[in-house]
């Protein structure tokens, strides 16, 4: 069947074009090399901001980015620190998981438990307890926490959504 893979990298206007093209080629190759963890079809993915995302998951991430941008944007009711907290927790998860895999203390077929889980619960609880956080955002933060702790593939998408929203808010 037909698959569509792609990759995108971001570079400043002063970044050498040949180097940006080489990085974009590498991004596309990562998307082509993507194999789903459930043994599903290969390829058919997009590499963006350092992560490969299957096309079927891209719209969910984009919806979450819209929420984050509305919450934490210029007139949003939530501090931009939420995005940094989520991104830091995601990076902590990735680093801990990589170390556990390297030392063979973790079976990739099982969830990776680590301090990132407690940090996530703590940070989101703090946001929910903040009087300035609107009730609908508090409800959504509960959903996010449950999604992540129920299925660890969601921590990957939260990290990407937080990073993407940060980029959109900055520009």
Cα(162)–Cα(81) distance, integer angstroms:
10
- Alpha-carbon span 116 to 139, nearest angstrom: 21
pLDDT per residue as tens digits for the range 130-147: 999 999 999 999 999 999
What pLDDT sits at residue 39?
A: 67
pLDDT digits (tens, 9 = 90+) for 51-72: 988 888 889 999 999 999 999 9
Residue entry with tokens 């698959």: 3
**Whole-angstrom distance, CA of residue 58 vs CA of residue 52:** 10
pLDDT, one tens digit per residue, over 88-131 is: 999 999 898 888 888 877 666 677 788 999 999 999 999 999 99
Extended beta strands in the chain, E state: 6-8, 45-48, 51-54
Q: What whole-number distance in Å separates Cα of residue 126 and Cα of residue 107?
A: 32
The closest alpha carbon to 23, from 9, 43, 4, 5, belongs to: 9
Residue 55 phi, psi dihedral angles, 5° rounding: -55, -35
């Amino acid at each position: 069947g037909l698959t569509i893979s792609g990759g995108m990298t971001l570079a400043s206007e002063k970044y050498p074009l040949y180097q940006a093209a080489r990085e974009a080629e590498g991004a596309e190759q990562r998307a082509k090399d993507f194999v789903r963890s459930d043994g599903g079809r290969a390829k058919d993915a997009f590499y963006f901001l350092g992560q490969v995302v299957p096309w079927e998951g891209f719209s969910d991430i984009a919806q979450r980015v819209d929420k984050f941008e509305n919450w934490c944007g210029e007139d949003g009711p939530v501090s931009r620190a939420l995005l940094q907290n989520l991104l830091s927790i995601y990076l902590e998860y990735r680093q801990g998981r990589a170390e556990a895999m390297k030392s063979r203390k973790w079976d990739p077929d099982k969830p990776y438990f680590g301090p990132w889980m407690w940090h996530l619960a703590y940070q989101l609880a703090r946001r929910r307890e903040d009087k300035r956080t609107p009730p609908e955002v508090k409800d959504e933060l509960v959903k996010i926490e449950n999604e992540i702790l129920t299925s660890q593939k969601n921590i990957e998408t939260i990290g990407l959504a937080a990073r993407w929203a940060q980029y959109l808010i900055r520009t």
